[in-house]
Each structure stands twice: as C-alpha cells, then as structure tokens.
Structure 1
C-alpha cells in the first residue's frame, strides 16, 4: 500500500542515517581527542577510574619533586660530613705528631685551631634552601609515596632522615627527671695516693732453705733455696729491695712499719689493676686496684635525647647532654672530652667497658701534681639540649703532655662520630634515589594503564571513519530514493 501521509521507507532511511551520523560524530571525536572515553557519558566507570589514576599521577609528580629536593639536601649534608671527616683526620695527624716532646707544639696547636675553624665553616655552610642537616637534632621527613587503600583512602608515607649534629656546642643541662640512679661514683674523692696490698713472709729464723716467688704485674721475681739469708724480716727487706730494683712503672715496695716480715706493694697506676701472686709467701689479694676513681653507668637504662650527666671534679662541674640514638658509651666519652678540655693539672681520664657485664665507666685519675684531693660526684637530669657531635673539639690542646695524650683518644671519638654521620647520610641518599627511580617507573606504569583504558585505537578509528563516510553517502542516497516514492503516486492521476 502506498501513502502520501506516511512514508515508511523514508522513516527507516532517516533513522539509519541518524545512527550513521551519530557513529560518525563519535568516531570523529575519537580522532580529534585521541580518546575513546573522553567524558563520563562515554563510559562512566572507566572514566571515573581513569580520573582517580590521573590524580595519583599528578600526586606522584609532586612526590618526585619532593624527593629531588630531599636528595639534594641530603647530598649537601653527606658532602659536608665527608669533608669534616677528612679535616678531623688531618687534626689526628697533628695530634699524633704532638706526642713527641721534641716538636714545636705551639705551631701544631695553631694548625689544629685553623682546621677546627674550617670544620665550623663547613658545618655552618652545609645548607640547601635554608635547611642544614648537620646542625641540631630534629629529623627531616621527605614525602616518598601516596598509598591508596582498597577503600579509596590515601596514606602519605615519608622517608625520615635523622639529623647528625656536627657542631661543637656544649648543650644545655636539663632540669627534668633525675637520672642520678644511672651514674654511680666509686668514691667521694680522687687522690694521688696509690692502692696497696701486701705479701707476708712466713716466720722462720733461717730463710736459707726457703724458696720465694712473687709475681707483680706479670713480672716474676724468684729466690731459690740458699738465695735468701737471715730470718723472715731480713728476707722481707731483701725481697723489697729486689722488687724496687725491677723498676716497674707505678709500683713501689716497702717493709711494713709494724710487721717487718710484711712487704707492702703500692700501685699508682691510674687505669690498670695490677696482678699479685706469691709462692712461698702469702699475698693479701690477687690484684692491686687501680688508683683512678670511676663513674659507672647503668647497663639497662635507656639514653634519650636531652639526657644530661654531670661530673664534679674539684670545684667545677663538667657535663654532657646526649642526643638521639646515643648510648652510655657516648655519655662516658662526652664527659671525658669535657674534663679533658678543662686542662686540669695532674688529672687524666679514661673510658672503658667491662667485658663481662658490658658496663661503661668513666675513670678519673689524680697524680697529685695539681690538687691534693679532688671532690668527685655524678648527677643526671633529663630535658636538656643535646651537645654537638664534635663537642670537645674547641678545647683540644696539645701544648702539654697530658693534653696531647687526652686529645688522641678524643679525636678518635670525633672521627667515629663524623664517619657514622656520613654513612647515615649516604644510606639515606641511596634510599631516596631508589625511591625516586621507583616513583618515575610507577608514574609511567600508571600513565600506560590510563592510556589502555581511555585512549582510542587510531588505526581502528581511521578505518571506521572511512566506512562510516561511505555508509553516510549511501544513507543519504537511500533517503533521497525513499523521498521520491510519493512522486510515483502522481502518475496514477494523469
């Protein structure tokens, strides 16, 4: 049936042409934008996912900038600590040279002062964009990643770089919780008087048949049968003379003023217990205790940032305030540097660790050339400002024998601190570089993933465009033919 009111063929052709034009428009949009999903109406779920991922990529760009800034800051600090280590090594060479007595120590001290000033200059200049990692104790946090959880929440993670204080600052003693229980002084005074033990010769009117052997500080003095004459008192006097003739450093022997058959052996060695054994006689003890007094530090108590310990020697107090991550070893060595820096006449120090208990001790010896008796006490308080990692460098003085001796041990501690700081910065810089490389690869992977979801396949789009253009032409022709159908009805009325 033909109708001039309803042209079904034209309607079909028109709908087909509209569909072709719609597909053609979409294909042209894909070609012009390069995306198969350019907006939410194209594919809402894919578009949403791609936008979240694009936001993450943008965030990782900011993280990459943060890592670059952090890496540069750490690199400056690492270079500074390596330079400080080299300068401290030069100072050590000067200190070693000062151990000889026939050198011009005043000129050596001038060189040490110049190197010390250079170290301070390096530490002060080691900043990047105003941030100096070799001054103070506050850590630096570098944004390293954004972790997206399955519920959509985002967590920021940081790489923490610990500051390594390479200043010579004394620090500030705190007024917080008492730490007195963590440091115990062995005596109320450190004097020049040596410690003594004795050897008693058994009562015998005739010692000619007796053999006696005495070992002091690893050196053995032996008398065989027939070598001792007279009674026990005479033998004691003979052995006493022989012991003194050995010339053992810091060891003297004397016949007891009350018991003539007793030999008193005195040791003035400051930081060494002296062994004592006897055969054919009786020793009062197996060792003669060292003369130096000590501050023994707790083996169980933690050391926190700002914990300060103070030792009073004579009328003055010397303190050290611990920084982050330090131990009782650092406290003992810090106090040693503080006392050594005062240049007290006749006073020497030593730091040691008990091999059995692991306890660290600061020992102070007085040889009597200065004060006859030195007050000795130890206290501690929390809540202070930490001393610098090169604390004591300012007070190194090699112009005296005692100063040169003390400087040798103290400079080793400073070199160790500087090496540890450089190693810490080097490790942190390596971690930052690794994270930066990972962030770059992760960003590339995310971009690739986004592209696979929303980018158009240009080869397919090009081929489809040509096909749709042909379909459009055919659709136009089909619509033209369909529109001509009513014209044929006119022939029925001619």
Structure 2
C-alpha cells in the first residue's frame, strides 16, 4: 500500500541520516579537539580519572619548580663551603709558616686577617632568593613530592636540608636552662702550676754490680750498684734521672725514696722499673706519672642536644660552647678548647683527648702561671655556637697563639669540609628527585593521553567513511521523498 500521509521509507532514511550525522559530528569533534573524551558526557568515569591525573601533573610541575629552587640554593651553599675550605687551607699555610722564628709574623697575621674577613663575607653573601644555608641551625624543608593514597587522600613530602653554620658567632649560653652538669666532671677546683709527683721507694736490696733500670716514658735510665745499700742505689738512680735531661721530669731523693716530679701537661708518663744481676730489684709506687693539666671529662653515655651549652671557668673568665644540631661531646670539647685558646691567656694551654677505655672525651687545661679557680657547668636551651667560632681570634704573633692556631685549624677545616659534603649529598638527592619527578610527570601525561586522546589515523578513516555514508543517506532520503509522487500517475 502506498500512502501520501505516511512515508515509511523516508522516515527510515531520515533516521539513518541522523545517525550518520551524529557519528560524523562525534568524529569531527575528536579531530578538532584531539580527544576521544573531551567532556564528562563522552565517558564520565574516564573523564573523572583523567582530570584527577591532570591535577597531579600540575602539582608535580610546581614541585619541579620547588626542587629547582632548592637545588640552586644548596648549590650556592656548597660552593660557599668549598670556597671557605680553600680559604681555611690558605690560613693553615700561614699558620705553618709562622712556626719559623725568622719570619715576619705580623705580615702573616695581616694575611690571615684578610682571609678571615673574606670568609666572613662569603658566609654573609651565600644566599639564594634570601635563603642562606651556612648561617643559623634551623633545617629547611624542600617540597619534593605529592603522595596519593588508595583512598584518594593526598599528602606532601619534603626533603629536609640541615643548615651548616660557618659563621664566627660565639653562641649564647643560657644560664637559666636545665642543669647539665651531670654530663661533665672536672678534676679540681683550681688550675695550678705545681708539678705532679710520684714517690718510688726501692724495697729490695741489690748486690754489687747489679744494674737498676727505670724507663720513664720513652727514656731508660740505669745505675750500676757499687754497694748493697738501698740509699746508695736511690742516690745513684736519682742522679742518672736528672742527668738524662728528660723534658719536664726531675727527681729528688730521700733515703731509699725517689720523688719524681713532672710538669708534662697533657700526657701520662709511664714508669717501668727493673734490674739485672744476682738480685731482682723491686720498688713500691705507681706505674705512671699523671699529666699535670686539669681536666673536664664529658660523659660517654649522655647525648648532646641542640642548644646544650657547656661552660669552663678559669679564674674569673667564662668560656662557653653551645652545641648545634647533630653534634657530639667531641665537638663540645673542641669548641671549648677553641674558646679558651681565643682568649690569648699566656699561661694557659689546652688539649683534647679521648679515653681509649671508656670512650669519654676529655678537655685538658694546663696552667703554667699562678693558681686560678677552675670549674665546669652545663645548661640547656642556648643558641648554638657558629662552626667557625674562633677563626677571627687567630693570633700568630706569639708562640702561644701559633701553637693554639695550629692545633685548632684542623677542627675548622673539618667543619667546612663536612658542611660542603653535607650540601653535596643533599644536592645530589634533590637532583635525583627532580629527575624522578620529571619522568613521573611524563608517565602521567602519557597515561592521560592513552585514556582520552583520539587515534587520528582511525579518526581519519572513520571521517571518510561517514562522509560517504552521509552522501548515500542524502540520496536515499531523496529517493524516499520522491516515492509519493508516483501516486499522481494513478489519477491521470
């Protein structure tokens, strides 16, 4: 049946053409946008996932900028630390040169002062965008990553970089802080210049021609007995000790007792007695002469926290050192030594040593002048001392100053080297993280592209096919629309 009111063929052709046009519009949109999913209506779940990933990409791009800024800041600090190390090495050369007696120490002092001023200038200028990592002690956090958990929550991660204080700041000892005196012990209430003594009493008679030997440190003295009397043996051995000219060691005798006196400041002197002959000689007394210097001994078990300050009082003068982050009692002992040496006290000399049996660090203070009060104390919550404190107090114009500078310069050089090494390690870590973030960002972009980007080869093929289908659809609709006209021939 042919109807002029209902043209079924035309309706079918029209619907087909509409479908072709819709598909053509879709493929044209893919070609123009480059995406198969350009809005939520295209594919809601894929669009949502891609948008989350795109936000992460934006975040990682900001992190890359943060890492670049941090890397540049640390690079400046590393370069500054390396330069300071070189300058300290030059100062060491000047100090070594000042050991000679036929040099102009005042000119060497001028050179050292100039190098010291340069170090101070570097410490002040080593900043990037206002951040200086070789001043102060607070850590700096550099944004390094965004971590997305399975539940969708996001947290940030940072790389912590410790400042390395290379200033001359003396620090601030907080006298009202928590008492830390339990971490130290001092050997006496006064530093005196009197010799340390040890009495050796010969206790076994010897025969004529027996040889008595006493080893004092690295020197051995001997006496060949001419009588069997202990007093004579003591007299003869005492004379041999004094004749040996052992630096800082002398002897007196009373009966069979030999009194050894030592002004050796920083080392114990071992004593070993023996004899050869018909009789084995013996004596009563200790097997060493203790060092004369007074000591401050630091605990081998207690820890050191940032801001812990320790004070040594000599006479009426206080000498302080306040620990920075990550320091030990070795740092404290050496810091106090530098503080005392910097005062230029002519009769006071210092040394730092470690007890091999207990692991305790010991500050030794020797007095070659009149007796002075001596004590130590400790308090928490101070302001840390700069890592190069005391460099600006170097004085090579005196024998005492040269000796102190030579013993302390290695401490300062080690501090600068450790600072440069720490910055180098942090810079390497940030460089690695920056490279990872760059690769991760590329991977995320690739993942987003695989989900939403259009396959242009496929789109091109579809476009050509749909254009042909559109032309055919138009022709089919045209034919279907002409069908009712055939009814007119029935009425002719």
Tell me what 1:299 maps to: 300
Q: Is the 8 A contact 2:203 2:284 kept in 1?
A: no
Tell me what 1:470 maps to: 468
Segments of structure 2 that go 5 or more residues without pairing to the other structure are 275-280
Tell me what 2:265 maps to: 270
User: What's the offset of the Cα at 1:55?
Assistant: 0.7
Tell me what 2:94 maps to: 94
Tell me what 1:346 maps to: 347
Are positions 1:118 and 2:113 aligned together? Answer: no
Match for residue 444 of structure 1 among 422, 442, 445: 442
Tell me what 2:310 maps to: 309
Are positions 1:329 and 2:324 aligned together? Answer: no
- Deviation sequence 1:54-102 (CA, Å, 0-9, x none): 1111111111111111111000000000000000000011111112222
Tell me what 1:402 maps to: 400
Mapped to 1, the partners of 2:139 and 2:169 lie a distance apart of 18
Q: Is the 8 A contact 1:207 1:232 kept in 2?
A: no
Alignment map for 1:41-52 (pairs within 5 Å): 41-52=41-52
User: What's the offset of the Cα at 1:120?
Assistant: 0.3
User: What's the offset of the Cα at 1:234?
Assistant: 2.7
Which portions of structure 1, spanning 4 or more consecutive aligned residues, are displaced by more than 2 angstroms? 201-204, 206-211, 227-235
Tell me what 1:137 maps to: 137
Over aligned residue pairs, what C-alpha RMSD do you find? 1.3
SS of the residue 2:391 aligns to = coil
TM-score (norm 2): 0.96
Tell me what 1:80 maps to: 80
Mapped to 1, the partners of 2:83 and 2:204 lie a distance apart of 69
Q: Is the 8 A contact 1:142 1:159 kept in 2?
A: yes
Q: Is the 8 A contact 1:184 1:295 kept in 2?
A: yes
Mean Cα deviation higher: 439-448 or 228-237 = 228-237
Tell me what 1:238 maps to: 236
Q: Is the 8 A contact 2:250 2:260 kept in 1?
A: yes
Q: Is the 8 A contact 1:199 1:281 kept in 2?
A: no
Tell me what 1:284 maps to: 285
User: What's the offset of the Cα at 1:233?
Assistant: 2.2
Alignment map for 1:52-71 (pairs within 5 Å): 52-71=52-71
Q: Is the 8 A contact 1:197 1:283 kept in 2?
A: no
- Deviation sequence 1:237-261 (CA, Å, 0-9, x none): 22211110101011000013xxx22
SS of the residue 1:394 aligns to = helix
User: What's the offset of the Cα at 1:422?
Assistant: 0.1
Mapped to 2, the partners of 1:262 and 1:210 lie a distance apart of 18
User: What's the offset of the Cα at 1:210?
Assistant: 3.9
SS of the residue 1:213 aligns to = strand
Q: Is the 8 A contact 1:277 1:283 kept in 2?
A: no
User: What's the offset of the Cα at 1:300?
Assistant: 1.4
- Deviation sequence 1:368-409 (CA, Å, 0-9, x none): 2xxx11111110111111000001111111111111111111
Indicate how the Cα distance of structure 1 residues 373 and 40 shifts in structure 2: closer, same or farther if over 3 A, else same: same
Mapped to 2, the partners of 1:149 and 1:473 lie a distance apart of 52
Mapped to 1, the partners of 2:468 and 2:248 lie a distance apart of 113
User: What's the offset of the Cα at 1:438?
Assistant: 1.1
Indicate how the Cα distance of structure 1 residues 203 and 459 shifts in structure 2: closer, same or farther if over 3 A, else same: closer
Q: Is the 8 A contact 2:223 2:236 kept in 1?
A: no
Mapped to 2, the partners of 1:203 and 1:358 lie a distance apart of 39
- Deviation sequence 1:260-279 (CA, Å, 0-9, x none): 22110111101111111222
Q: Is the 8 A contact 1:312 1:378 kept in 2?
A: yes
Tell me what 2:278 maps to: none
User: What's the offset of the Cα at 1:180?
Assistant: 0.7
Mapped to 1, the partners of 2:353 and 2:213 lie a distance apart of 32
Q: Is the 8 A contact 2:222 2:240 kept in 1?
A: no
User: What's the offset of the Cα at 1:104?
Assistant: 1.6
Mapped to 1, the partners of 2:217 and 2:226 lie a distance apart of 23
Are positions 1:182 and 2:180 aligned together? Answer: no
User: What's the offset of the Cα at 1:305?
Assistant: 1.0
Q: How many residues align?
A: 485
Q: Is the 8 A contact 2:223 2:233 kept in 1?
A: no
SS of the residue 2:393 aligns to = coil
Mapped to 2, the partners of 1:282 and 1:388 lie a distance apart of 52
Tell me what 1:198 maps to: 199
Mean Cα deviation higher: 4-13 or 230-239 = 230-239
User: What's the offset of the Cα at 1:466?
Assistant: 0.9
TM-score (norm 1): 0.96
SS of the residue 2:350 aligns to = strand
Q: Is the 8 A contact 2:20 2:466 kept in 1?
A: yes
Mapped to 1, the partners of 2:470 and 2:301 lie a distance apart of 88
Q: Is the 8 A contact 1:276 1:283 kept in 2?
A: no
SS of the residue 2:251 aligns to = strand
Tell me what 2:482 maps to: 484
Q: Is the 8 A contact 2:66 2:143 kept in 1?
A: yes
User: What's the offset of the Cα at 1:148?
Assistant: 1.1
Mapped to 1, the partners of 2:203 and 2:177 lie a distance apart of 59
